[in-house]
Structure 1
Amino acid sequence: MAIGPVQLLVLGFKHPNFHGEIIAELERLKKSDTVRVIDALAVYKTPEGELEAEHLSNLTPEEAVEIGSKIGALIGLGFEGEEGAEAGFEKGGELAAEDGVRVFDQQEWDVLAEIPNDTAAALLLIEHHWAVPLRDAIFRAGGFRLADGFISPLDLVGIGLIAAEEAKELHDLETAGKAG
């Protein structure tokens, strides 16, 4: 079975107000075979910058330790303090190296540094099932990914895709937690 393109989403929450909507939407996407959540972490950064993390899954604590956190391996975050963080990052790098893959390092994207103090974050490692046939068709045609990224709603105004008012509303929603 081919794995679809995988994306790490880091979502910030100044004052989380969860009512199950996010989980319900992820379940809907899973049922429609659009995405699969490979791993999920909840992280809280204290006002002093200390991290508290909780693995979000239906695994027992023993299974979670045995399997480990895929996100932790990617970003160097472990569940046994600093030693666990180093072990998680090293294990992820070792597994990737065995397959000839170079994972990104802290200089490329320091995910944890981007989480503001006194803020909660959800880190979701998502597989995009919908993209497998497209990716495979591109590969068969001799193509390959050069880059990717989300486009800001403000940039969509310049190409006439949405109105300035709508773009500002979307931009404000997307970045509400970043300001002070």
Structure 2
Amino acid sequence: MTEQDLSTLGPVDFLVIEFPSGHQNFTGEIAQELLRLVDAGTIRVIDALVLTKDEDGNIDATELADAGDLGELVQLEAQLAELLAADDVVNLANAMDPGSVAGVLVYENLWAAPFADAARRAGGQLIANGRIPTQAIIASLEADEALETTGA
């Protein structure tokens, strides 16, 4: 990334998507949706890799270029910055179950970059952010609905 890119950098997030070993598919619908987000200018992929954690907890990290048949994801390979360090990989793999495979995606939220840039120019700095897991939102809504149904 150039100095200009860094001065207008939007928020950067990561995702770790886990699959049972042998059931991962990074070239189907997931790849299509990821490419749609990139093509629409919603996100910019900064780094992507595949993590494998065997039953003994041993971790293998594979960069996208070395992950075999990339299908449509081959379009992203030239854009990747390989940002994640070995310590990052270990920390991400700690969240994985033994005997699983995970796709790791580090991406810039391009849609938020103009706001982030304006905040920096105004002298502001991001001091906290977070994400509420979708599963938690669904569980909360279902619990509220159950209370309404039972009249409690």
TM-score (norm 1): 0.58
Contact residue 41 and residue 71 of structure 1 kept, 8 A: no
Matched residue, 1:115: 96
- For the pair 1:36 / 2:44, whether they are aligned, the reply is yes
Q: Which runs of 4+ in 1 moved over 4 A?
A: 153-158
Contact residue 154 and residue 164 of structure 1 kept, 8 A: no
Matched residue, 2:59: 51
Matched residue, 2:84: 71
- Provide the secondary structure at the position in 2 that maps to 1:23: helix
Deviation at 1:75, TM superposition (A): 1.0
Matched residue, 1:178: none
| Percent of aligned positions that are identical | 32
Closer/same/farther in 2, CA of residues 117 and 68 from structure 1, 3 Å limit: same
CA distance in 1, matches of 2:86, 2:133: 29
- Provide the secondary structure at the position in 2 that maps to 1:42: strand
Deviation at 1:34, TM superposition (A): 0.6
TM-score (norm 2): 0.67
- Provide the secondary structure at the position in 2 that maps to 1:3: coil
Q: Which has the higher strand share?
A: 2
**How large is the Cα RMSD of the aligned pairs?**
3.2
Number of residue equivalences: 126
- For the pair 1:8 / 2:19, whether they are aligned, the reply is no
Question: Relative contact order, CA 8 A, sep 6+: which one is greater?
Answer: 2
Deviation at 1:125, TM superposition (A): 0.9
Deviation at 1:140, TM superposition (A): 3.3
CA distance in 2, matches of 1:44, 1:151: 26
